[in-house]
Amino acid sequence: MGRMDFKKETRIGIVSKLHFECDNCDKTFIICTSESPNGKLNDSVVWASLSIGIGHSQCEELFGVMNIPSMHQKTFANEMVSVKKGIIIGAETKKPLFLGIRNKFCSLCSYYEKHELPQKKHECALNFNGPSTAMEQDIIVEGFSKSIEQHGVIFKYMIGDGDSSVYARIVERVAYGRQVIKIECANHMTRCVSDKLHKISTNTVYPLAARKLLTSKGTEGISRLGRLVKGVRTAVKTNLNQPNSLRQELRNAPYHIFGRHENCSSFCKRKESKEDDLTLQLDQKFFIEIKKIIEPMINMADRLSYNQTTNQAERYMSLVAKCTGGKRVNFTKSSSYTARSYAADLSHTNGPSWHLKALRNGPCGRFTDQIFNRKQKKHELRKSRGYIYKNKKKCNSGTDIYYGPQAALPDISSDNMAERKDKFLNKLAERVSSSQKIENFEISTRGQHDNNLWRELRMDYLTASNFGKVVKRRPTTPCHNLVKQLLYQKKDLKSPAIIYGRINEQKAVSKYEETKNVEVTACGLFVDATFPFLGASPDGLVGDDGIIEVKCLPFIEGKLAESKKSTN
């Protein structure tokens, strides 16, 4: 029986192999500090790092404080690659139908370019060159395009939050895109209503008394604003797959909270009460603004009646934030972000004990089983009790054409469009239903740009300046750019040319009257009684059979007088 002498230690990551030699037979024996000689402990360290959202630097500091040797960064990266492949292969039941990742930066490519070095073969993280706000739609379009290839089905429904152009791109780029039906997220629409109501409640343009009626708390301890937000969300829940009934309740909601219950359903508890009708006391412009805020939900009632939300997608993104350390460290510079996204996928699919299903190469160990089984029990207990949601402070980072109010939205239904068109044309016809109304309408809009009513009503009519663009448009030419130009194009009213024209317009009219020996009469907006959507707004009337249109151009200032002198 010989004595075992320690010779050396070799390390692979945090796994050590201790080499002993027998002084009797000179035979070498190796003892490994890990259960698996292939370094299963290294895998566990990387899995743990992914799970709690840390990287190599944090791991190195953690082990350094504990006086434990850490693995090299290259070893950590190699283990990360193997983990990533395992996750892709190991995902099982209830996994998302498609998971895509877009990255606009690769740290290695950037390093080689910065130091003017030839690029070595590496796993490049760069796979997207467009704007960041277009990443979402690019991923979703790819997933829809591969649905038949990967799953043998087409995706009929898509739940969206209404803020992005994803649906428009699906219709445009996916082969079966026009068959896809978009369902609006009920929670998102309700939040939009709440945000807009809070915004107008602090807008000093509206009377203070009206705003206080909206925000002051009643006997139940909740304000009318809170009741309205809660009411529209409840209406979506109670009118499942009943868009017409939902549309009616949403339209009646502003009247209900201010005490008018004549159109309320039978379940309304306030209908038989003697509650005061405050709609008669409320400032009408403020009340109209409240109804405008509810209008988008009314228009989308057919897509809201499914009562669906994007909660599962939001839950997955929260798990991604956890696996990336709450975005404290920028893991998107390399393929590490991909591995962490797949780790979040497993956590979303299998719950807090996802490690037990992912690590299949061998038993996880008694303590690992105990810890994650305990977490699973807590998770199930918390689910049975229900979650307590807290208000979170929101920040606005602005919008663009890919996301936000400026994004492309799906068209409203044909029936809804026809109903709104008839309603609008009837409103125009009512304004000019008699010769007296036509005359009063023209008188009330005199003054043009100096008249607020003229500026507001002119948007409802097709006038001479734009008539040619409409009547000459080919039936095959899309009309969306023309509509944007007519309704949403913003003019710079403070530009030097416009200011010059406003100042000199009356001078030009006076000069015309003096030169031609005529009288120019101011006029407002004339509307055709037969076609009430056609209007005319000349700068003035000359007698009974003439009109005047004035153009004051700054670049010809003084040139006409000089031309006249040279002619004389």
The pLDDT tens digits of the residues spanning 140-168 come to 888 888 888 888 888 888 888 765 678 88
**Is the pLDDT confidence value at 190 over 90?**
yes
Adjacent-strand bridge partners of 534: 462
Cβ(464)–Cβ(536) under 8 Å? yes
Tell me the two tokens of residue 424.
């609008």
Residue type at position 408: A
For 244-287, how does the pLDDT look when each residue is reduced to its tens digit (9 = 90+)?
999 999 998 998 888 888 878 777 777 777 777 788 888 889 99
Mean pLDDT of 389-411: 62
Q: Does residue 42 register a pLDDT over 70? A: yes
> pLDDT over 90 for what percent of the chain?
8
C-alpha Rg value of the chain to the nearest Å: 35
Stretch 462-477: mean pLDDT: 86
List the alpha helices (DSSP H) in 488-558.
496-516
Residue 149 pLDDT: 86
For residue 535, list its beta bridge partners: 527
- pLDDT (tens digit, 9 = 90+) per residue, 16-28? 888 888 877 878 8
Q: From residue 363, give the alpha-carbon distance in Å to each of 213, 357, 368, 466.
A: 65, 10, 9, 76
If one looks up domain 427-567 in CATH, what number appears? 3.90.320.10
Residue (of 19, 7, 11) closest to 68 by Cα position: 11
pLDDT band at 92 (very low <50, low <70, confident <90, very high): very low
Phi, psi torsion values for 10, nearest 5 degrees = -115, 135
pLDDT at position 195 is 93
Measured CA to CA, the distance from residue 284 to residue 203 in angstroms comes to 15
Q: How confident is the model at residue 354 (pLDDT cuts 50, 70, 90)?
A: low
Rounded Cα distance, 229 and 191, in Å: 8
Q: What does the block give as tokens for 20?
A: 């002993």
| 455 vs 432: CA distance, rounded Å | 18
Task: Work out the average pLDDT over 286-290.
Answer: 91
DSSP string, 195-258: HHHHHHHT-TTS-HHHHHHHHSB-TTS-BHHHHHHHHHHHHHHHTTT-HHHHHHHHHHHHHHHT
- Residue ranges of domains in the chain: 4-90, 107-182+310-385, 195-304, 427-567
For the chain, what's the residue count?
Answer: 568
3-class DSSP state of 175: coil
Distance CA 271, CA 269 (A): 6
What order of strands is seen across the sheet that includes strand 4-12? Answer: 4-12, 15-22, 28-32
pLDDT of residue 405: 59
Work out the pLDDT band at 93, boundaries 50, 70, 90. very low
Rounded Cα distance, 236 and 246, in Å: 7
| CA of residue 11 relative to chain centroid, distance | 50
pLDDT confidence band for 328 (50 / 70 / 90)? low
pLDDT of residue 332: 57
Tell me what pLDDT residue 491 has: 64
pLDDT above 70 covers a percentage of the chain that reads 78
pLDDT at residue 387, as a whole number? 56
What per-residue confidence (pLDDT) applies to 283? 87
Mean pLDDT computed over 188-199? 92
Provide the CA 133 distance to its chain's centre, in angstroms: 10
Task: Write out the two tokens for 473.
Answer: 């448009």
Reported as a single tens digit per residue, the pLDDT across 415-442 is 888 888 899 999 999 988 898 998 898 8
Between 111 and 228, the higher pLDDT residue: 228
For the residues 333-358, what does the mean pLDDT come to? 66
User: Is the pLDDT at 536 greater than 70, yes or no?
Assistant: yes
For helices 73-90 and 40-52, the axis angle rounded to 10 degrees is 80
Strands 181-184 vs 157-160: parallel, antiparallel or unpaired: parallel
What distance in Å separates the CA atoms of residue 83 and residue 92, rounded to the nearest whole number? 16
